[in-house]
Amino acid sequence: MFKGCFVAIVTPFKKGEIDEEALRKNIQFCLNKGVDGIVPCGTTGESPTLSFDEHKKVIKITINEVKGKVPVIAGTGSNSTKEAEVLTRFAKKVGAEGALIITPYYNRPTQKCLEAHYRKLDTIGIPIIIYNVPSRTGVNISPATVVKLSRLNNIVGIKEASGNIDQVSSIIAAADHNFFVLSGNDSQTFPILSLGGIGVISVVANIIPEETTKMVSLYLKGNINKARELHYKIYHLCKAMFIETNPLPIKTAMAKMGMIQKEWRLPLGEMNKENEEIVIEALYKYGLL
């Protein structure tokens, strides 16, 4: 169910409010290009700045728009286990196929506390993908903790965005055989596939969903040389999308392409001008402008 290219969709804003029309259009764009799934309310969706009601609204719109064509993995994490539980139960209720749950940020929990956090959420009864991105949360969930959690009924995989390839190898080597790894960094998708990963939760797929999906699909079908060619074709565009804090570059790119308004929520705002020029140059080089 969770194999391939999943798009971590942005949350479009217009005059400070969620731009529902742009959100629906972006979902349809990704679906029409053949992506394997949609992920609303992740880091790319600016989930920390969404109110509870907005968070639920984006999840519900996504599920209604997708209409069961592909799985929806709803971002439902929080630095509060109680809040994560509320959002995850809501996602299950409205029909999400899975929940992407980030390690609690700011609190800096110990490995024992991280394990307790996910054990509590496991009881909700929806497939859960751990989201490990220590550069943003201040805590890395260790391979040993992940391996323990992989034995639970509903902890089915991890989105690995630590950037640590050895960590990916350690998880795949020791976790339950049904437990999977998805890349959390677009530029590392090909290497993670080579270690045994089964896909990506992608930022760059907001603008090149077809190519990103094809690269993963080719690899999983055994056409490694063609997949490698696509990896190098999209590599520099992937790097440009992370030249500043995500989702500033991808939203800048999408606005330049006419897909959304150029708008974020504070504390995020305009990119540094020099970096914005790098993003725009990457779009031109790739042929998107």
Instruction: Please say if 106 is a catalytic residue.
Output: no
pLDDT tens per residue across span 3-62: 999 999 999 999 999 999 999 999 999 999 999 999 999 999 999 999 999 999 999 999
* Averaged confidence pLDDT in the chain: 97
Exactly one of 60, 92, 105, 131 is catalytic; name it: 131
pLDDT tens per residue across span 5-15: 999 999 999 99
Instruction: Please say if 118 is a catalytic residue.
Output: no
pLDDT tens per residue across span 145-193: 999 999 999 999 999 999 999 999 999 999 999 999 999 999 999 999 9
Q: Which two tokens stand for residue 110?
A: 């110990």
Q: Is residue 79 over pLDDT 90?
A: yes
Instruction: Name the amino acid, one letter, at 162.
Output: S
Residue 207 vs residues 9, 26, 96, 220: alpha-carbon distances, Å:
10, 9, 23, 22
Please say whether the beta carbons of 238 and 8 come within 8 A: no
pLDDT tens per residue across span 204-263: 999 999 999 999 999 999 999 999 999 999 999 999 999 999 999 999 999 999 999 999
Give the list of residues 6+ apart from residue 223 with CB closer than 8 angstroms, or none.
Answer: none
Please say whether the beta carbons of 232 and 262 come within 8 A: no
Please say whether the beta carbons of 205 and 35 come within 8 A: yes
- Domains contained in the chain, CATH given: 4-223 (3.20.20.70)
Please say whether the beta carbons of 216 and 190 come within 8 A: no
Exactly one of 159, 214, 251, 256 is catalytic; name it: 159
